[in-house]
């Protein structure tokens, strides 16, 4: 059995130009042949947990993932266990209000020290805008601020206006909007750790932070942004989410949705990401997003700069890797391998163009005379 599975793995990886114990940086080195049984028995989750346990390595893990994703090898690992994972998500609302705070507790509350080390001074945990002229040969912090400025320009933010940031993270966009554009900001998050840090760091700014689910948010705002939060909403709730945004947005304002996008519609996420990184997360498709705001909003602009996420994630990993000598006093060696697998698999996924990064600008009634796209 072991030899048969090993040979099957060799043939499958060859479709992506990957060799077991080969000499290319993207090839893999197998330290424990249990990898083969775990991969074919448990799908992508088995591959990930086998890596976390040290069963295999790759010198260039991001390029390994780029190659296997471009060859769609993940589809060859689907079995009954992965089918059950999909069926459960298809018929159960895993993002209902009772589960809303799970991702905050399990991911965003891991430790501000980890995210401060990885994300840089902006603490922006979303894709930077490397595609702008300002993104040429610039730092991670600079391309994150280029993204903030792009968002402010897209919504036409003016001094004195109010803005709601749905899923505000560590408040970096609200800080930028307050300091550079004179806006008054409200942010909502499901992470107590995020909220505490924002309140301490930006107490001198007109920023209000609430720990709450978006379904409980009240008030009206000149503009709304949601930067990297929609991936936690879930297909069963997309329509409810859009109805809520519509009720919170003042007439004449803009809602900017910044989200990772899938090339196909699904109700679940990849098993490793769902178990270890973003519980209950789902990446939406263009079709799902479009259906969710049908007859609620006018689509003014749809901007895709997905390849920029590859550069962003690689920069995060470089920061994380440099900080590991300090971080390892708190986090385990298995955590390091888990986090590396997470970041490198995401970089490879964006490099392979299997996922996208979209900024979508919506208005209630349409801009008289037309909307001017910003790039």
* Cβ atoms of 278 and 310 closer than 8 Å: no
Which residues is 185 bridged to in the sheet?
163, 207
CATH of the domain at 220: 3.40.50.150
209/292 same-domain check: yes
> CB 118: neighbour CB atoms within 10 A?
22
Considering the domain architecture, whether residues 201 and 321 belong to the same structural domain is answered as yes
66 is a domain residue: yes
Is 108 in the same domain as 27?
no
pLDDT, position 93: 54
Beta-bridged to residue 29, according to DSSP, are 57
128 domain-assigned: yes
Number of CB atoms found within 10 A of residue 251's CB:
8
Residue 87 falls within a domain, yes or no? Answer: no
Domain assignment present for residue 340? The answer is: no
Measured from the Cβ of residue 110, the count of other Cβ atoms closer than 10 Å reads: 16
How confident is the model at residue 274, as a pLDDT?
85
The per-residue pLDDT for 375 is 87
Contact 308, 127 (CB under 8 A): yes
Question: Is 44 in the same domain as 113?
Answer: no
- What are the respective helix, strand and coil percentages of the chain, to the nearest 5? 50, 15, 35
Q: Same domain for 149 and 39?
A: no
Do 113 and 59 belong together in one domain? no
Token pair belonging to 46:
């088995």
Q: What is the pLDDT of residue 113?
A: 87
Q: Are residues 173 and 33 in the same domain?
A: no
Looking at residue 278, its pLDDT comes to 83
Domain span holding position 31: 2-78
pLDDT in tens, 207-249: 999 999 999 999 999 999 999 999 999 999 999 999 999 999 9
- 168 in the same domain as 137: yes
What pLDDT digit, counting tens, does each position of 153-211 carry?
Answer: 999 999 999 999 999 999 999 999 999 999 999 999 988 888 998 999 999 999 999 99
The reply to whether 172 and 304 lie within a common domain is yes
Contact 35, 55 (CB under 8 A): yes
What is the distance between the alpha carbons of residues 305 and 311, in angstroms, rounded to a whole number?
11
- Give the active site residues: 346
Shared domain for 142 and 237, answered yes or no, is yes
* Domain boundary, last residue among 20, 44, 78: 78
Asked which of 26, 43, 78 is the last residue of a domain, the reply is 78
Are residues 175 and 122 both part of a single domain? yes
Find the Cα–Cα–Cα–Cα dihedral 89, 92, 98, 99, rounded to 10°: 0
Identify whether residues 186 and 46 lie together within a single domain. no
Q: Can you give the pLDDT at residue 269? A: 80
CA angle 243, 260, 224 (to 5 degrees): 40
pLDDT beneath 50, residues of the chain: 80, 85, 91, 104
Indicate whether 374 belongs to any domain.
no
Token representation of residue 24: 């290319």
Q: How far are the Cα atoms of 219, 252, 259 from residue 363, in angstroms, in the given order?
A: 18, 7, 17
Domain count, the chain: 2
Is residue 284 a contact partner of residue 235, using CB atoms and an 8 Å limit? yes
Beta bridge partners of 301: 361
Residue 153: alpha-carbon gap to chain centroid: 23
Q: Would residue 359 count as lying in a domain?
A: yes
At 271 the pLDDT is: 85
- 89 in any annotated domain: no
Q: Are 364 and 251 in contact (CB under 8 A)?
A: yes
The answer to whether residue 313 is domain-embedded is: yes
Tokens of 223: 């503009």
Give 374: exposed, middle or buried? Use CB within 10 Å, 0-12, 13-18, 19+.
middle
């Amino acid at each position: 059995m072991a030899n048969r599975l090993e040979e099957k793995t060799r043939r499958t990886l060859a479709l992506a130009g990957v060799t077991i114990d080969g000499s290319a940086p993207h090839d893999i080195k197998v330290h424990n042949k249990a990898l083969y049984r775990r991969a074919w028995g448990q799908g992508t989750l088995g591959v990930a947990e086998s890596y976390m346990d040290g069963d295999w390595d790759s010198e260039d893990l991001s390029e390994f993932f780029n190659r296997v994703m471009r060859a769609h090898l993940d589809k060859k690992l689907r079995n009954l266990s992965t089918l059950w994972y999909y069926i459960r998500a298809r018929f159960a609302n895993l993002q209902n209000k009772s589960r809303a705070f799970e991702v905050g507790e399990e991911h965003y509350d891991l430790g501000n020290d980890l995210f401060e080390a990885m994300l840089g001074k902006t603490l922006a945990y979303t894709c930077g805008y490397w595609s702008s002229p300002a993104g040429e040969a610039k730092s991670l912090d600079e391309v994150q601020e280029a993204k903030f400025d792009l968002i402010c320009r897209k919504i036409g933010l003016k001094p004195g206006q109010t803005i709601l940031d749905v899923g505000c993270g560590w408040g970096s966009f609200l800080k930028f909007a307050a300091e550079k554009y004179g806006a008054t900001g409200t942010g909502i998050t499901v992470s107590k750790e995020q909220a505490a840090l924002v309140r301490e760091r930006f107490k001198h700014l007109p920023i209000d932070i609430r720990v709450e689910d978006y379904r409980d948010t009240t008030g009206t705002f000149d503009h709304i942004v949601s930067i990297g939060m929609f991936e936690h909403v879930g297909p069963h709730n997309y329509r409810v989410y859009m109805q809520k945004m519509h009720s919170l947005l003042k007439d004449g304002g803009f809602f900017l949705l910044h989200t990772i996008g899938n090339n196909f519609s699904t109700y679940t996420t990849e098993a490793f990401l769902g178990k270890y990184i973003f519980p209950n997360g789902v990446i939406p498709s263009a079709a799902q997003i479009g259906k969710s705001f049908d007859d609620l909003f006018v689509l003014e602009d749809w901007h895709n700069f997905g390849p920029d996420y590859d550069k962003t994630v690689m920069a995060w990993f470089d920061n994380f890797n440099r900080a590991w000598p300090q971080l390892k006093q708190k986090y385990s060696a298995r955590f390091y391998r888990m986090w590396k697998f997470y970041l490198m698999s995401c970089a490879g996924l964006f490099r392979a163009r299997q996922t996208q990064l979209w900024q979508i600008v919506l208005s209630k009634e349409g801009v008289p005379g037309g909307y001017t796209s910003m790039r």
